Structure 1
Amino acid sequence: MYHQKRLDRLLINGACLELSAAISVTHLARHPSDHAPLKISFVSRLDNKPRPFRFLNVWMTKPELLEVIRNAWVQEVNGSPFRVLCSKLLATRRAIQAWNKHSFGNIFKAVQKAEVAVQLVEEVADQDDTEESQVALRKA
């Protein structure tokens, strides 16, 4: 049985420190590699503005997405062409966000929860290198 040591480190210079009010480093799950990737977070958003809309590829796994987009896009909007475009994009974004919440829930929290579960199982596997702990690690 061998014990793993955390050797992954982050080195930044003073100029990088000045870019952000807070920098945090998180060791992500190692499995299946023996190296832990580092997640570096630069906290600079001090306002409560909404995050920009991001299209998630997982949405394409559900065929009803196209219908959600089509229904939002065909809504009648009056005004200049630019206003019509902006209104349709906003309506489409809101429709996709509502559909996402209903169809997938909070994907980011689910991923975060799964990552924590893998890290916990990794810690157990580090202390108890048995076949059962390796199976649990692969399953997680």
Structure 2
Amino acid sequence: MRKTMIAAVFAALAGPAISAPLCDDMGFAGLLAKCNRGETINLLLASGQPLGEDVQLQSGAYYKLEITADGSAELAVEGPSFFRAIWMNEIVINKIEIRPMAIDSIEFDKAGTVELSFIAIKPGNHVLRIPGSRGDSQSVTISIQ
């Protein structure tokens, strides 16, 4: 009982985990400011190749996700949990900008690149995977802190 009470006191003193944008003075651009941008995330869609490495993001920060397909197979990436945990700014395909409300997946019929720009919002672990695949290398976990 005593250990439980001590643990509760420490938990109360620790307070909530703080997630803030990457910079303090964002100016007119707000969350889209250049100082609030994290590293670009790159994923490769190729038959029999790993999708990418797990990534950790900061809630409130602006990121770009580049997915490149090499054309070796018709492949897709799905991740409804991830796509609902972010605010999507735009998707760029062949220099065409799309501003969607929501997406579940992106499929490539041939070689190409898609660039998604977004702000990470909802903390948690979210998985992007190649649909129907079972291997660990065919998925990427994106953790939003």
TM-score by length of 2: 0.18
Q: TM-score, normalised by structure 1?
A: 0.19
Larger Rg: 1
Higher-strand-fraction structure: 2
Q: Decide which structure has greater helix share.
A: 1
